[in-house]
Structure 1
Amino acid sequence: MSTDDGHGHGQAKKLKLYSFWRSSCSFRIRFALNVKGLEYDLITINWFQGENRKAEYLKINPIGFVPALVDDDIVVADSFAIALYLEEKYPQQHPLIPRDLQKRAINYQVATIVSSSIQPFQNLSGNRFMDDKISLDEKIDWIKAKIEKGLSALEKLLHDHAGKYATGDEIALGDVFLAPQIHAAISRFNVDMTKYPVLSRCYDGYNELPAFLNALPKNQPDFPAMIMHTNEADFMKQLRGEN
């Protein structure tokens, strides 16, 4: 990985990833790129400063979300689409989609549960929408309940399929989505993972991987030096200047 300040400085790479340190969706693709051993320029988009809403970025991704991947004249937005694109273009570099049909189906389900049934409830847009409607404590409790519901479903889904990782002893598509979600559940929402032994075993395995560790939010070039808290409640209070 190399970094870019978004203004054309730094060594150009074939792949360019627009990313935000706190975005679990960006985290997925950083992890996937690292697992596949693909070099890329990391271009940071500061969500808190509204860089995702600027015309320059909206030309790349009209919906204004991260991540977005630029590969020469091909632009792919949305983490699921990016992961599949990388798999189709680089199938020989650590394949993420198993040949076994059942394992493949399980991986698709894991990715879908995370991306559509968990992560939307914790994203920044939803957080801000609720700010003036319920208290911070109520918001955190509601988000945490949604996360735990999704994790419970994943625990049951993977019970008979997991090895060291979600569907065996090789990192696959489901892991690319699952690992950042578990990290967010623990670090941002203080979820008790003892209730999820299968997922906890997978997470222990992820933490042994340089590809995962290098993709962590705290290891990104745009991770703010002044951040004192990563859990959601304290982080939101810090942003508001309350502590």
Structure 2
Amino acid sequence: MQLFSFFSSSTAFRVRIALALKGADYEYQAVNLRAGEQHQQAFLDRNPSGNVPALVDGDFNLGQSLAILDYLDSRYPEPRLIPADTIQRARVLELVNVIACDIHPVNNLRVQLYLKNILGVTEAQKNAWYRHWVAQGLDVVERLLARQEDTPYCFGTHPTLADCCLAPQVWSAARAGCDIAAYPRIDRIYRHCMAQPAFIQAAPEQQADAPQGG
């Protein structure tokens, strides 16, 4: 199995966490998004969206992180990341979709490049855009978490798909200078996650294509 990834991609980070939690062996294939390698025809033939992550499992190619995560949960059932219980599954997916549909798409690299290179916004304006959407989304996540019992992970004592998505989003937001301390429940869960072996293994700075020295 191969994972086409970029060290700082939060969507690829999601998949790396799941692979680590499940103990699945894979070969890391770096795709340098900053150098535009995702636009090369060889990669587009594998993943038409031209994004990472992309997973290759034998003759099976799959793009889009949430589809990959669902595939991995079926392929490697333990530990289960998407709960079997109907209500709990819905709650996990509700939180996941706030991150994957409301926060990430408006802030990913290609959107930031469009803002800067096509619309001509300043660096300060681009950063304000990023922080606005992060703040709006994390406000929602914090409220959703407040409905749950106070537990080490988003939903209980074991990580779920919600944690696989939340930790990378918080990592990216903190890297961009967002005030994560403004969200105490999120901050606590993030710190707990990032102290666990699977999350450490999947972290951007641990990847082969991460710049030396961070």
1:193 pairs with 2:180? yes
Alignment of 1:132-171 (within 5 A): 132=117, 133-161=120-148, 162-171=150-159
Superposed displacement of residue 113, structure 1: 1.0
Letter in 1 for 2:94: Q
TM-score by length of 1: 0.84
Alignment of 1:24-63 (within 5 A): 24-63=10-49
What RMSD in Å do the two structures reach over aligned CA positions?
1.2
CA deviation vs aligned residue, 1:212-231 (integer Å, no higher than 9, x gap): 1111111110012276xxxx
Q: Which residue of 2 aligns with 1:183?
A: 171
Among 188, 191, 194, the alignment partner of 1:204 is 191
Letter in 1 for 2:103: I
Flag the structure with larger Rg: 1
**3-state secondary structure, aligned to 1:164:** coil
Among 89, 105, 117, the alignment partner of 2:90 is 105
CA deviation vs aligned residue, 1:51-87 (integer Å, no higher than 9, x gap): 1111111111011100000111111100000000001
Q: Which residue of 2 aligns with 1:216?
A: 203
Q: Percent identity?
A: 35
Letter in 2 for 1:157: L
Indicate the structure with greater helix content.
2
TM-score by length of 2: 0.95
Among 81, 89, 101, the alignment partner of 1:96 is 81
Superposed displacement of residue 49, structure 1: 1.5
Structure 1: give runs of 5+ residues left out of the alignment: 1-14, 228-243
Partners of 1:36 and 1:109 in 2: CA distance = 23
Q: Which residue of 1 aligns with 2:111?
A: 126
Partners of 1:76 and 1:195 in 2: CA distance = 36
Which has the higher relative contact order, 1 or 2, with Cα contacts under 8 A spaced 6 or more apart? 2
Letter in 2 for 1:71: D
Partners of 2:189 and 2:181 in 1: CA distance = 13
Partners of 2:179 and 2:75 in 1: CA distance = 38
**3-state secondary structure, aligned to 1:17:** strand
Q: Which residue of 1 aligns with 2:8?
A: 22
